[in-house]
Chain A
Amino acid sequence: MPKTLYDKIWDAHVVHEDSDGTCLLYIDRHLVHEVTSPQAFEGLRLAGRTVRAPDKTIAVPDHNVPTTPDRENGIENPESRIQVETLDRNAQEFGVNYYPVHDVRQGIVHIVGPEQGWTLPGMTVVCGDSHTATHGAFGALAHGIGTSEVEHVLATQTLIQKKSKNMKVEITGSLPPGVTAKDITLSVIGATGTAGGTGHVIEYCGQAIEELSMEGRMTVCNMAIEGGARAGLIAPDQKTFDYVKGRPHAPKGAQWDAALAWWTTLKSDEGAHWDKVVTLKAEEIAPVVTWGTSPEDVLPITGHVPDPESFSGGKVGAARRALDYMGLQPGTRLTDIEIDTVFIGSCTNGRIEDLRAAAEILKGRKIAVKRAMVVPGSGLVRAQAEEEGLAQIFIDAGFEWRLAGCSMCLAMNPDQLAPGERCAATSNRNFEGRQGRGGRTHLMSPAMAAAAAITGRLTDIRELAPQPA
């Protein structure tokens, strides 16, 4: 029977299947961070258990580490400090791979995994974090789990799972200029809703996806969860193999050849069954921004703030509440919305290409917002950006140049919005309070965020005047 990519990876990892279809699935890589793991390690300790496969477990603190240079002197917030110290201790006690705060390889867990070659095609990857779907860009089955499941994977290297359904999201044609991976992924959520993928694993395909770089593909898969899907996948191809080759934990020599032989089979067969299919034309995707408090509240930048009454069912109330929270009036042109803060970073858009795209817009210009910050996704991204001269462009434009971490993506560290402050963000969630209590978030691509920084309002990147000479 023809199989989807998801079917193939799933089948290769079933340890045991019960008569009702509940499976024990083997986990190849388990990524761990400081916020969702302390109770799991504690659970192991209380039960006298060990980590079954410490060599397949990778830990890094990212969610609440400060991103200011003074973090070298220790973390001021006592609760954050305890969480990070707890991870330090757990990593050492249980012997897992670890990138502590002061290691140059430290960064956001979903950036570190691919960067270090831990993430490989055909793997199962889990992490106590919903954006684990990022790793699906490599054709790995990757999804977020809760803390009880973190404990389960630590103890058994398996997860109890039922198979999801197959959903195909095809983006035909080529993206127009100024339109990016972020616009694809937001537009898909806009089209399907935040629950459109619930119960499904999405495979993204089509010419526009094939034309994306690996980093762009990671941006697309990163937000699969925002569309409700369990995971997002992209079939590995030559770009994937080139990206992986030579990374510290990628296979080498004869093992590389063996791996490659399997990886090239990892694609959905002709005639495979799809439970749901969504097709978007790349030509029709515009640079988008969110106007509300759900990632499905997406509109092309040329649009206007919608009238809540134009929705139906429960969404009317939700939209009313969203506009109230966002401080917006129906009918306002999106490009008339003024911005106070710009945040460039996160596991969605904190990689080197994202920083390049933003720096290209910012070169020779100054910000017109109260505050703007760039938080590279890892210490290595940061180092590379400094080497390429991007850091200086950001600094000259008036951006703060930070150390790696999740930062204002979820504002668990001191990087937070004040109540009512409005932010153009490259992260993935615009929920109420996500970037700080009362903070208002508009999601967009790095180039669009950079454009907003320069003009002080939401801006159509395609209409930005050419750079000063």
Chain B
Amino acid sequence: MEKFTNLTGVAAPMPLVNIDTDMIIPKQFLKTVQRTGLVKNLFDEMRYDDQGNEIPDFVLNQPAYRQAQILVTGENFGCGSSREHAPWALADFGIRAIIAPSYADIFYNNCFKNGMLPIVLPQDQVDVLMEDARKGENARIAIDLESQTVTSADGQVFAFQIDPFTKHCLLNGLDDVGLTLEKVSAIDAFENAAAQARPWI
């Protein structure tokens, strides 16, 4: 897994609440057996018209945001289906961090498995960063995972919370499966005990 330490970059503003995973990547693009190549259909219905041409107004189609690495957005981002294709498509575009007041649980977890950092900040702080994001190239946002801070373009520093284990994995690019397999004897022991207690399973 790719490490996440720090990042300074352009943020794309998407001031909508409840952006769901069908909006992020519509299901007709889930028919792949790979993790990559999803970028072309990211936000497909907002990004392209019925003829498949780019809609110039859509934020990620604007020149200032084509290289955006951060997304600033509204509450309950990533609600809907469990599809990990949503973070894969965002990552494929180059998004490494998201800033929002809240996320749907499954999406939030899925981000970390892909080296992406979803940051939760209170609405008023998200509003400040949303203003930065609207300025495109002219207002870069800095994120530092070690110190758990986001710094706005004019130097305001906002602290965010992250679970220590998740942070450790992200900083070091650790793969969950490998970590868990180190505990295989605990799993064996649990399985044996469970087979006694609940043999019908």
Cβ A228 vs Cβ B75 within 8 A: no
Contacting residue for A15 out of B17, B27, B31, B183, CB 8 A: B183
Among A43, A79, A83, A148, which residue has the most Cβ atoms of chain B within 10 A?
A148
A440 within 8 A of B: no
In the bound complex, how far is the Cα of B186 from the Cα of A467, in angstroms? Answer: 62
Among B28, B31, B34, B113, which residue has the most Cβ atoms of chain A within 10 A?
B31
In the bound complex, how far is the Cα of B15 from the Cα of A138, in angstroms? Answer: 40
Q: Which of B117-174 contact A (CB under 8 A)?
A: 163-165
For A314, list chain B residues within 8 Å (CB): 15-17, 74-75
Interface string of A174-194 (1 = CB under 8 A from B): 000000000000000000001
For B75, list chain A residues within 8 Å (CB): 195, 314
Cβ B30 vs Cβ A412 within 8 A: yes
Interface string of B93-134 (1 = CB under 8 A from A): 000000000101110011001100000000000000000000
Interface stretch, picked from A31-39, A377-385, A389-397, is A31-39
B180 within 8 A of A: yes
Interface stretch, picked from A105-113, A122-130, A205-213, is A122-130
Cβ A20 vs Cβ B186 within 8 A: no
Contacting residue for B110 out of A148, A194, A198, A255, CB 8 A: A148
Interface of B (DSSP majority class): loop
A388 within 8 A of B: no
Cβ A251 vs Cβ B31 within 8 A: no
Cβ A437 vs Cβ B26 within 8 A: yes
Among A128, A130, A255, A434, which residue has the most Cβ atoms of chain B within 10 A?
A130
Q: Which of A308-340 contact B (CB under 8 A)?
A: 313-315, 317-318, 321
In the bound complex, how far is the Cα of B108 from the Cα of A199, in angstroms? Answer: 11
Cβ B102 vs Cβ A146 within 8 A: no
B73 to nearest A CB, angstroms?
A: 10
For B104, list chain A residues within 8 Å (CB): 195, 198, 228
B178 — nearest CB in chain A belongs to which residue? A47
Q: A258-B199, A262-B198 are in contact. Are A18 and B165 (CB under 8 A)?
A: yes
For B163, list chain A residues within 8 Å (CB): 20, 22, 162
Q: A158-B187, A230-B105 are in contact. Are A64 and B79 (CB under 8 A)?
A: no
For B176, list chain A residues within 8 Å (CB): 148, 152, 160
Cβ A318 vs Cβ B18 within 8 A: yes
B76 within 8 A of A: yes
Cβ A79 vs Cβ B32 within 8 A: yes
B161 to nearest A CB, angstroms?
A: 12
For B165, list chain A residues within 8 Å (CB): 18, 20, 22
A169 within 8 A of B: no
Cβ B200 vs Cβ A256 within 8 A: yes
Interface stretch, picked from A94-102, A277-285, A425-433, is A425-433
In the bound complex, how far is the Cα of B200 from the Cα of A120, in angstroms? Answer: 10
B82 within 8 A of A: yes
Contacting residue for B28 out of A38, A155, A412, CB 8 A: A412
Interface size on B, residues (CB 8 A): 54
For B105, list chain A residues within 8 Å (CB): 198-199, 228, 230
Cβ A155 vs Cβ B181 within 8 A: yes
In the bound complex, how far is the Cα of B19 from the Cα of A294, in angstroms? Answer: 10
B200 — nearest CB in chain A belongs to which residue? A251
Cβ B200 vs Cβ A82 within 8 A: no
In the bound complex, how far is the Cα of B183 from the Cα of A258, in angstroms? Answer: 30
Among A56, A120, A198, A228, which residue has the most Cβ atoms of chain B within 10 A?
A198
Cβ B31 vs Cβ A152 within 8 A: no
For B102, list chain A residues within 8 Å (CB): 195, 198
For A35, list chain B residues within 8 Å (CB): 30-31, 83
In the bound complex, how far is the Cα of B18 from the Cα of A148, in angstroms? Answer: 23
A104 within 8 A of B: no
B20 — nearest CB in chain A belongs to which residue? A431
Among A49, A122, A195, A410, which residue has the most Cβ atoms of chain B within 10 A?
A195
In the bound complex, how far is the Cα of B27 from the Cα of A411, in angstroms? Answer: 8
In the bound complex, how far is the Cα of B200 from the Cα of A122, in angstroms? Answer: 12
| A-B CB contact pairs (8 Å), 16 listed | A26-B190, A35-B31, A39-B33, A39-B34, A39-B84, A42-B34, A79-B31, A120-B201, A144-B82, A145-B109, A146-B84, A156-B187, A314-B74, A318-B16, A411-B27, A432-B45
On B, residues with C-beta under 8 Å from A are: 15-18, 20, 22-23, 26-28, 30-35, 45, 50, 74-76, 79-84, 87, 102, 104-106, 109-110, 113-114, 163-165, 176-177, 180-181, 183-184, 186-187, 190-191, 194, 198-201
On A, residues with C-beta under 8 Å from B are: 15-16, 18, 20, 22, 24, 26, 28, 35-36, 38-39, 42-43, 47, 49, 52, 56, 64, 77, 79-80, 82-83, 86, 120, 122-123, 128-130, 144-149, 151-152, 155-158, 160, 162, 194-195, 198-199, 228, 230, 251, 255-256, 258-259, 262, 294, 313-315, 317-318, 321, 410-412, 419, 429, 431-434, 437-438
